[in-house]
Structure 1
Amino acid sequence: MRSVVAALVFVASAFAYSISSPNQSAGWTITGPNTVVWSMVSTDPQNFTIVLSNQVVSPPTQQILAALVDGSLGQMTVNPPSGGWQTGTGFRVNLVKDANDLDSILAQSDQFAITVASSSSSSGASSLASSTGLSTAVSLSSVSGGTITAPSVSTPPSATTSGTGSAAVNPSTSDTSTTPTNNAALPAMGMQAGIWSVLALLGAALA
């Protein structure tokens, strides 16, 4: 009897695979793939098969998630089975010898739950859109005849505004081509008037 117990203890200690995730506090969700994390020692078999088991439901279920897994990887992302993930509690991940020996368990996880994914990611996206002034909806008033009209955008003041200090639209026509010419005509007209006045005074003196 003692020899049988000693043999069982030796067999149990020979396989030291240990699953750290999933666990009671970190379960899985039904959205996308999930991850299995484990540790091993040199005496463990190099390969195993990952099985999702639930023995608290009726009838009990066992689903193979991955076969011939390399134990040295330490973790693996597993895809959902053909029917998708089932929500509930009482799930365990078993590392078994191979697909033909589902009862030859090398390691077993704690019981964990598979739940619906949290909506925090979608609410976070909405908060980001709100903080940046973005909108996820299009006003019906901006849709006419199947065409979406973009909101109007105010344009900066035109560079052609008239007045002092305004920018010239056509570089070939500037103030220097008009205003200086008109100002120069005034002294010329005054000079001509002065000459005529002198001539008139000379004529009066000679007479």
Structure 2
Amino acid sequence: MSTIIGPDGLARPPWAATDPLLMQYYDTEWGMPVRDEQGLFERISLEAFQSGLSWAIILRKRLAFREAFCDFDPERVAAFTEADVDKLLAEPAIVRNQRKIRATINNAKATLLLREKGGLVDFVWGFQPADTPRPETPEEVPTQSAESLALSKALKKEGFSFVGPTTMFALMEAIGMVDTHLLASHRRGSSGIWPGAA
């Protein structure tokens, strides 16, 4: 199965074709460029929390995550204390995984340190590949790439955690660094980064 035509006549991949929340996310946000530090830190954090879970779970908890992590302001998150960790572990509206919570705080600190090397945005976007996949079916969508592996290694070297190559490829998809919209999708090429990739 390639795409599914919705009631609105638009073609989407199966994962974004039925759930209204996922559909809206797919139509308006997924695959669009994110080039601000706070927005990128949020995406990295949410991708880490998504690890081992469905994206739908994270998306439904996104507002709660934003409230719990101060809208993912890296300076504020970097200042979290053990008392804040305990508070987050007691917050049922988010994913209460101690390792992921601590990783988010750790990654906020690493984000601040990266400012000395040009900042998180330039660092991450420096791994944009020269080409992008052209999948016709969901099975043809890669789960990682040479670039996501390199980005993962580079971020770990800078002190980040929960940034494995599969998680980083998902990030690259989400922020438009690669275009993995199916060729028949109405969103293919919508990022403006890969105009000739349709």
TM-score strictly above 0.5:
no
When normalised by structure 1's length, the TM-score is 0.19
Task: Tell me: higher relative CO, structure 1 or 2? Use CA pairs within 8 A at least 6 residues apart.
Answer: 2
Answer with 1 or 2: which has the greater Rg: 1
